[in-house]
Amino acid sequence: MSKLSKLLTRWMMPIAIAITVSIITTGCDDDVVAPENNDIVDGVYTPDSRPYGKTYAEWSAEWWTWAWQTEATNASGDRTHPLFDTTGAHAFNGQQTSGSVLFLAGFLGPGTYTRNVWIPSGKALFFPVVNAYADTTGGWTIDSMRNALDRFATTVNEVFVEVDGRAIANPKSYHFRSSEFAITLPHRNLYEFFGAPYGAGTRIPVMSDGYWIMLAPLSRGVHTIHFRGSMTRPNEPFVLDMTYNVTVV
């Protein structure tokens, strides 16, 4: 594993360890955006469903592709990547908001954070509660990546999600691993930000593991999404707790 991979595995494994998801409606109407669907239980797509034509594992690869292919900074050097965002101002950078699904991110490190965001109605929200990736930059093979992700999975303790004050049942059943996929890095990418010699256009094979949630579209109004997770590591316990205040318009 490369030096950068070790660093990012240290901090990015729990890229979303905690964004507690509680949804408190104070909004303009009580219309139900999501249609009746046997794949949706308490506002969440079930683990074996294929929301919008993809499995959870496939959506996890899409999420990582977005995360890696979004620039870490702007031309002035300001940190504009969603994983550095502390307010919500950059939450959807690098995303096409015209699609059916929007991605939420955690933070690049432990702590407690709150983001305020506005989204159009009719959008599902996909996010990791705690996740990890492995890549081949240090000469790793597919088996090496799998072994690293197996070790990651043993460190996860808490996986907690609640929606509108109601806990999602058995959140650890939302554990998914992707197949191998590849990312193509942009200018000012996260690898470069952390000092690795991988410039724009570099193509890197990666693999993902983690606990993920796909929320069905929320009704118009104001909601609070909160989820939390924790990991145990030698001399370095990790807890990330985030809150998203979401206004659906």
What is the rounded distance in angstroms from the CA atom of residue 115 to the CA atom of residue 128? 16
* DSSP one-letter code for 200: T
pLDDT at 109: 85
H or E stretch at 64: helix 56-68
Contact by Cβ (8 Å): 178, 208: yes
Query: How do strand 203-215 and strand 181-184 relate by DSSP bridges?
Result: antiparallel
pLDDT at 2: 45
pLDDT at 83: 96
Output the pTM of the full model: 0.85
Residues of the chain with pLDDT under 50: 1-36
pLDDT at 16: 38
pLDDT at 166: 82
Note down the domain range covering 100: 3-248
pLDDT in tens, 134-157: 999 888 899 999 999 999 999 999
If you count them, how many residues does the chain have? 249
As for how many domains the chain has, the answer is 1
